[in-house]
Every structure is written in C-alpha cells, then in structure tokens.
Amino acid sequence: MHDFGFDKGQGLEFGIYTLGDHLPNPNDGSRVSAKERVHEFIRYAQAAEQAGLDYFGLGESHQEFFASQAHAVILGAIAQATSTMRIGSSSTIISTSDPVRVYENFSTLDLISNGRIELVAGRASRVGLFELLGYDLRDYEELYEEKLELLLQINREEAVTWSGQFRAPLNEAEVIPRPIEDRLRIWRAVGGAPDSAIKAGLAGVPMVMAHLGGTTSIFARTVDAYRQAAEHAGFDPATLPITTAGFFHVAETSQKALQNTYRYMNEGMIRTNGQGLSKQMYAQNVDPMSIANMGSPQQVIEKILHQHEVFGHQRYIGQIDFGGVPFDEVMKQIDIIGEEILPAIRKYTAAGAKAQDEEKDN
C-alpha cells in the first residue's frame, strides 16, 4: 500500500477545490472571460497555500459554463505557481479518458510539482462528455470500472500486460515517466452511495466521498461500508485514508451564509443540472447535523469537528466557488479559513490535543 504521507500529529487536513465552473454572476449577469477564469483558479491555489491550507483540487467538466476541460494543463501552471501545498484533481473523469495518457500526464505533473500531485478518479456526474468524446453512455459503469482498474495496474507495475473491452490490449507496456515516489496518490471518487464505497474498499483504494447535502449520520453508513469491505478483502482500513468533499461557506451568521450563497447555488444547479433548489431545503444546510459546512465560523468549526469524530477521516476539502461566486468573495473565504477555521481544526484534531484531553479525563 502506497503511503499517502498524512501526518497523524497534525490532525485533520483541510483543503479547497473547484470544478472549474465558469458561470455568470446571477446578481448582474456579468461573466469574466475564459482567460481570466483560468487565471483565477491559479490565484485561488496561490492564496490557499499562503493561508496554510493542505490541498487544492481542480476538476474537469466538458460542457458549457465550465473552463477547466484541460485541467491537467492548468494544474501544471498551479504546480509552478505553488511550492509546498498538495495539489491535484478534484475529479479526473477516467471513464472517458485513456488511463495511459492520464498516467503520463499526472506523473509528469508529479515531477513538475516535486512530488505534490494527487489524482481523484471520477465517473462524471454530468454526462454530456460521453457523446462529445465518442463513448456510449450505456457503458457508464463498465467504462469506469475497467479504466480505473487499468490505471491502478499502471500505478503498481512498470511493465503492464492487460486486456479489456474498451481499449486495445497492452503487452509488457512501459508507461513513463514514473512519479518521484514511484507511485501516484490515486483516490476513487465516491458520490456518497455505499455501492461505490464498497468497491473502493474491496480494491483497497483510498476514497474521496463527495456530498451535495444530507446528514452526517447518513454518510457515516457509507464510511462504515467502505471500511468493512476493505477489511473483508484483507486490507487494514487504518491504512486507507478518506477525504470528504462538499459545499463550504462562512459568514457572520448562519442566516447570512444562506443569504450569501443561495442565489449562486440555485443558479449553478439550474444551469448545470437543469433543476434549482428550494429555499426550504437549502436552509437545512446550516443545521448542525448537515454535511454541508455552512454557517458562522464557530458553527462550521463545530460541524467539521463533529464530522471528523464520526468519520475518522484524514482530509476535508470545501467547494467555495460554485454558481458564479465572485473572485473577491472566494478570496475572502480563503482568508477566513486560514485565520479562523484552520487553527481551530488543527488544535482540536492534532494527536497532541487528543492526548491532553485524555490526561484531563483521567
């Protein structure tokens, strides 16, 4: 099992991510150019590193209102613009990509970044790219499972012999370059349903569990299913890191957090998924039991700490720019994370803090 390098003494890692959306601001209809939007992604990453965050992720989505179709290219620029923070994909759509090319790209990114790259293999929640890139949507599940299996085999073996349904076979193929530590950090993206988490556990692959909404207790079942499957397959669950990913926004009060974000979230959902959000349902995002980390800084800190207690995960990453949130507001969110959220999260989840609490209890 590849060591993902998590520092147990540091406590829960914290990062942010974007899916690369490029939507008009719903308040005035204005939209920056694609050039400016791409440069905003790079500046997000720089600000996140300066604020002390642990990870920045960028995804790909091949449809209107997105600007990061060539996310690996943008990650190359981010690798040059940062120096210490882990960087990678928030989702690389492996289903419609050639695993050999994906591995070549991300291994090269690993060399550029001095070993800081990570890859999250996703299956696409927005399915227009299947027709665009010449794949049959009816093969949705089979494409993902086969291509992820090949990607993982390439990561394990320097000479790959393989055959499958959707790609020409490989015979002692050498896929180069190899990353600095010989293997890439590859995660399986899970949408929250236990079925995909179980497959990740059975394969012994670290999991990124993404969520749009719902309660922490519901997602605890997915985490439990993942660890039980891993143990059943002979893996030690303690060696398999988990990342959780979802909406994040902090404001002076929970009501202000809802007011600040509803219009953006609703517009984003309408434009990318064809269906908006009811205000009543959206208001549940600030509930203490909600998986969405929205509210005042103290409320969000308490929610993240509760989730860490329930899940025992290694990293949380927040999506803070969905729906056309202006650049200045995103940068403000990054500042608040660095100044208020991160110090509290590290204080209460670090190994030293837990040891002190146990001594007090005794």
* Inside any domain, residue 27: yes
**How buried is 165 (Cβ within 10 angstroms: 0-12 exposed, 13-18 middle, 19+ buried)?**
exposed
* Inside any domain, residue 6: no
Mean pLDDT of the chain: 92
CATH number of the domain enclosing 188 = 3.20.20.30
Asked whether the predicted pLDDT for residue 93 surpasses 70, the reply is yes
The reported pTM is 0.94
On the question of a cis peptide bond just before residue 177, with omega within 30 degrees of 0, the verdict is: yes
* Inside any domain, residue 169: yes
C-alpha–C-alpha distance, residues 172 and 195, integer Å: 33
Between these two residues, 183 and 353, which has the higher pLDDT value?
183
C-alpha–C-alpha distance, residues 202 and 268, integer Å: 35
**For the chain, what is the domain count?**
1
Residues of the domain holding 253: 13-361
* Inside any domain, residue 142: yes
Token pair of 6 as six digits: 């998590």
pLDDT grade, residue 130 (50/70/90)?
confident
The whole-number average pLDDT for the span 177-202 is 94
Q: pLDDT digit string (tens) for 27-66?
A: 899 999 999 999 999 999 999 999 999 999 999 988 889 9
> According to the model, what pLDDT value does residue 354 have?
52
* Inside any domain, residue 53: yes
* Inside any domain, residue 3: no
Which has the minimum average pLDDT: 49-63, 211-225, 264-278, 287-301? 264-278
Q: Which SS3 state, helix, strand or coil, does residue 77 take?
A: helix
pLDDT grade, residue 124 (50/70/90)?
confident
> According to the model, what pLDDT value does residue 67 have?
95
C-alpha–C-alpha distance, residues 223 and 228, integer Å: 9
Asked whether the predicted pLDDT for residue 1 surpasses 50, the reply is no
Between these two residues, 65 and 3, which has the higher pLDDT value?
65
The beta strand positions in the chain, using DSSP E, are: 13-18, 55-59, 86-93, 117-122, 159-162, 170-174, 185-190, 207-211, 242-250, 293-295, 315-319
What does DSSP assign to residue 178? P
Between these two residues, 362 and 146, which has the higher pLDDT value?
146
> According to the model, what pLDDT value does residue 355 have?
44
* Inside any domain, residue 7: no
* Inside any domain, residue 269: yes
